[in-house]
């Protein structure tokens, strides 16, 4: 799937960067092949505009922010949060023409990140119960580019068959199939329930809260169309660890992986740095294999064998949900 050529994908919300990155001024980002600039408006909320001044096409991200407006670093043309030019330093007498403006995009702050939708959203940003539950703390983990397609990462997130192979260096179980697994398509995604024994190596024991060589994970997975997932993990000792992973599409071949987690313990019990270090080891195993895949070759829904393999069914449901949604909005899947 070539994401930059699927117009419907412009109508979803994507987390594009941590809000803290905007404290030092405007920042560029490429979303679905579109170059945008983000900055904090006068109320401190994020703003997203096309990263191009309408005067001489300079990138606005190379400018500055003054009183919640963005100032082009070339000639000082200044734009407000709507993209309207509000100041031309060299134009001291004439009024500013109405055509002096740049496209503005829908932008919001949620969960500590700036989110952008390039066109009218078909769905709001998904709700996370952990975000408002005082029993949890949030740990921001990864913000990095992966050279793989977003759908590839989502398929991998729900693929239980890869655990004992890709993750044999961290938590991979001996068994190639989970103890139990169920799944169900939802209106805007997929829900799964999995219980499986997993290895508990030395580096994970404090993070998991167990000294045993093996433990059991009970996992509730939620896929949010198109490229976000929530994985709520429960351990026998009552510890709850929820991972939020987003594959924000940069272009047809790369994604910005935006990941944070929620934990039902405290910093004094398990330092965030230790949790990040273990999840980093796990994530690097995924990254190595996913970056070797073809970003435009997904599961073929006509291959009968996959319909009989539980490990492949989540990916098939994802593909069919996306195809159905594209057709509903008058599109067909575009490949290279």
Q: What is the pLDDT of residue 124?
A: 96
Q: What is the pLDDT of residue 92?
A: 77
Q: What is the pLDDT of residue 305?
A: 46
Query: pLDDT tens digits for 19-70?
Result: 999 999 999 999 999 999 999 999 999 999 999 999 999 999 999 999 999 9
The sheet with strand 137-146 has its strands ordered as 137-146, 255-263, 240-249, 228-234, 214-224, 189-199, 180-186
Lowest mean pLDDT among 17-26, 133-142, 319-328: 319-328
Print burial letters for 241-263: b (CB count within 10 Å at least 16), e (below 16): bbbbbbbbbbbbbbbbbbbbbbb
Tokens of 334: 């575009």
Lowest mean pLDDT among 70-74, 170-174, 281-285, 324-328: 170-174
Domains and CATH numbers, the chain: 3-117 (2.102.10.10), 129-327 (3.90.380.10)
Q: What is the pLDDT of residue 336?
A: 63
In the chain, the percentage of residues whose pLDDT exceeds 70 is 95
Q: Measuring CA to CA, which residue among 131, 107, 128 is closest to residue 118?
A: 107
Q: What is the pLDDT of residue 100?
A: 94
| Burial class of residue 188 in the structure, from the number of CB atoms within 10 Å of its CB (0-12 exposed, 13-18 middle, 19+ buried) | middle
Query: pLDDT tens digits for 91-116?
Result: 877 789 999 999 999 999 999 999 99
User: 181 or 263: whose pLDDT is higher?
Assistant: 263
Please say if the pLDDT value at position 75 is more than 90: yes
Tokens of 99: 């055509």
Please say if the pLDDT value at position 302 is more than 60: no
Q: What is the mean pLDDT of residues 290-305?
A: 68
Q: What is the mean pLDDT of residues 240-249?
A: 98
Look-up of token digits 């508990």: 200
Query: pLDDT tens digits for 148-194?
Result: 999 999 999 998 889 889 999 999 888 777 788 888 888 889 999 99
Q: Tell me the average pLDDT of the chain.
A: 92
Other beta carbons within 10 Å of 12: 23
- pLDDT-derived band of residue 283, with 50, 70 and 90 as boundaries? very high
> Following DSSP, what letter does each residue of 17-40 receive, concatenated?
EEGGGGTTS-EEEEETTEEEEEEE
**H-state helical runs in 179-333:** 202-208, 272-290, 304-307, 313-328
Q: What is the pLDDT of residue 298?
A: 55
Q: What is the mean pLDDT of residues 8-26?
A: 97
């Amino acid at each position: 799937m070539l994401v930059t050529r699927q117009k419907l994908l412009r109508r979803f919300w994507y987390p594009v960067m941590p809000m803290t990155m905007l404290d030092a001024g405007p920042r560029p980002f490429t979303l679905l092949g579109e170059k945008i600039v983000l900055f904090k408006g006068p109320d401190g909320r994020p703003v997203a505009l096309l990263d191009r001044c309408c005067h001489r096409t300079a990138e606005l991200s190379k400018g500055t922010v003054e009183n919640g407006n963005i100032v082009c670093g070339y000639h000082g043309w200044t734009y407000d949060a709507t993209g309207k030019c509000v100041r031309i330093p060299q134009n001291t007498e004439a009024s500013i023409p109405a055509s002096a403006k740049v496209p503005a995009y829908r932008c919001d702050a949620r969960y500590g990140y700036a989110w952008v939708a390039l066109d009218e959203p078909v769905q709001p940003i998904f709700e996370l119960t952990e975000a408002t539950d005082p029993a949890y703390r949030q740990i921001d983990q990864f913000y990095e580019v992966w050279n793989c397609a977003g759908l590839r990462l989502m398929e991998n997130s729900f693929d239980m068959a890869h655990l004992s192979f890709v993750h044999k260096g961290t938590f991979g179980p001996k068994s190639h199939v989970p103890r139990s697994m169920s799944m169900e398509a939802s209106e805007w995604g997929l829900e799964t329930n999995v219980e499986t024994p997993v290895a508990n190596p030395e580096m994970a024991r404090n993070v998991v809260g167990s000294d045993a060589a093996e433990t059991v994970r009970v996992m509730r997975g939620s896929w949010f169309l198109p490229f976000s997932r929530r994985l709520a993990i429960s351990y026998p000792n009552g510890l709850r660890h929820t991972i939020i992973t987003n594959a924000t599409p940069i272009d047809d071949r790369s994604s910005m992986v935006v990941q944070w987690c929620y934990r039902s313990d405290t910093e004094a019990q398990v330092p965030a740095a230790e949790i990040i270090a273990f999840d980093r080891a796990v994530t690097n195993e995924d990254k190595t294999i996913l970056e070797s895949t073809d970003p435009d070759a997904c599961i073929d829904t006509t291959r009968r064998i996959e319909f009989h393999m539980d490990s492949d069914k989540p990916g098939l449901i994802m593909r069919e949900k996306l195809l159905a949604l594209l057709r509903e909005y008058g599109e067909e899947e575009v490949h290279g």
